[in-house]
Amino acid sequence: MKPKGWHSRGYLPHFDSPETIQFLTFRLVDSLPAEAIERLRLQSESPSDAERDALLDACSGACWLKDPAIAQIVEDALLHFDGQRYRLVAWTIMPNHVHVVIELLSEHQL
């Protein structure tokens, strides 16, 4: 497949390129309380990365990833295609979200 470059799926912009190192954050569904999501949505300006990070770091929700067995499942999933579809540069598994730095390999897309 041909890389898409800059594109949007209706909310945040994405950049798809095989020569770009990507920083990804994904989170558990309950990691941000509904009132925090609504507050961020109503802001006239886009929230800063620091503001979003502070909300995630408050460890709201069930924090399933603090369970070592569940965190291991996530780590195993990240490592599964390391060296095949992407090079896993760095990662950290927090109690309610995950940060990953990857470099895509060959024609694979994010």
Domain range list for the chain = 5-30+62-104
R_g (Cα) of the chain, nearest Å: 16
User: Who contacts 7 (Cβ-Cβ below 8 Å, separation ≥6)?
Assistant: 13, 14, 15, 16
pLDDT at 76: 98
Which DSSP symbol is given to 98?
E
Q: pLDDT tens across 33-77, in order?
A: 888 778 777 776 766 777 777 877 888 889 999 999 999 999 999
Dist. CA 62–CA 52, nearest whole Å: 18
Q: Say how far apart CA 63 and CA 66 lie, in whole Å.
A: 6
Above 80 in pLDDT, residue 12?
Answer: no
Do residues 102 and 13 touch, judged by C-beta distance below 8 A?
Answer: no
What pLDDT was estimated at residue 11?
63
* Cα–Cα dist 104/102, whole Å: 6
pLDDT band at 92 (very low <50, low <70, confident <90, very high): very high
pLDDT of 29 higher than 80: yes
Average of per-residue pLDDT across 71-88:
96
What is the mean pLDDT of the segment spanning 86-109? 91
